[in-house]
Amino acid sequence: MAKVLLGVSSSIAIYKACEIVRELKKANHEVRVVLSPFSQRFISPLTFGALSGNKAYVDWEEDPLLHINLPRWSEVFLIAPCSINTLSKVALGIGDSLLTTCALSHKGVLMLAPAGNVEMYKNPAIQENLRKLKERGVIIIEPEEGKLLCEEEGQGRLASVERILDWVEYAIRPKPLKGKRVLITVGATREFIDRVRFISNFSSGLMGFSLAKVFRWYGAQVKVIAGFTTAKEPPEVEIIKVVSAQEMYQEVMKHLEDAHIVVMNAAVADYRPLEVYSGKLKKQEFMEIKLVKNPDILESVGKVKGKRFLVGFALEERENLKENALKKLSSKNLDLVVANPLESMGSEAYEGFLIFAKGKRVDIKAKNKLEAGERIVMEILEYL
* Domains of the chain: residue spans and CATH: 3-171 (3.40.50.1950), 181-383 (3.40.50.10300)
Alpha-carbon distance of 168 to 124, in angstroms, equals 28
Q: How confident is the model at residue 337 (pLDDT cuts 50, 70, 90)?
A: very high
Say whether pLDDT at 150 is over 60: no
Judge whether 333 and 300 are in contact, CB under 8 Å: no
Query: Measuring CA to CA, which residue among 36, 119, 41, 122 is closest to residue 79?
Result: 36
Question: Mean pLDDT across the stretch 133-161?
Answer: 81
Q: How confident is the model at residue 50 (pLDDT cuts 50, 70, 90)?
A: very high
In the prediction, which pLDDT does 152 show? 65
Say whether pLDDT at 154 is over 70: no
Question: Mean pLDDT across the stretch 159-185?
Answer: 96
Say whether pLDDT at 178 is over 80: yes
In the prediction, which pLDDT does 62 show? 79
Residue type, 189: T
In the prediction, which pLDDT does 149 show? 59
Question: Mean pLDDT across the stretch 157-172?
Answer: 94
The rounded mean pLDDT for the chain is 93
Say whether pLDDT at 343 is over 70: yes
Which residues make beta-bridge pairs with 147?
153
Tell me the residue length of the chain. 384
In the prediction, which pLDDT does 71 show? 95
Say whether pLDDT at 121 is over 70: yes
pTM across the whole model: 0.91
Active site residues: 150
Alpha-carbon distance of 300 to 303, in angstroms, equals 5
Q: Residue 241: what are its φ and ψ, rounded to 5°?
A: -90, 135
Query: Measuring CA to CA, which residue among 298, 235, 265 is closest to residue 377?
Result: 265
Alpha-carbon distance of 306 to 328, in angstroms, equals 18
Query: Measuring CA to CA, which residue among 255, 339, 358, 243 is closest to residue 304?
Result: 255
Each residue's pLDDT tens digit, 270-309: 999 998 888 888 888 888 889 999 999 999 999 999 999 9
Comparing 62-66, 154-158, 331-335, the range with the smallest average pLDDT is 154-158
Higher-pLDDT residue of 62, 271 = 271
Alpha-carbon distance of 314 to 319, in angstroms, equals 13
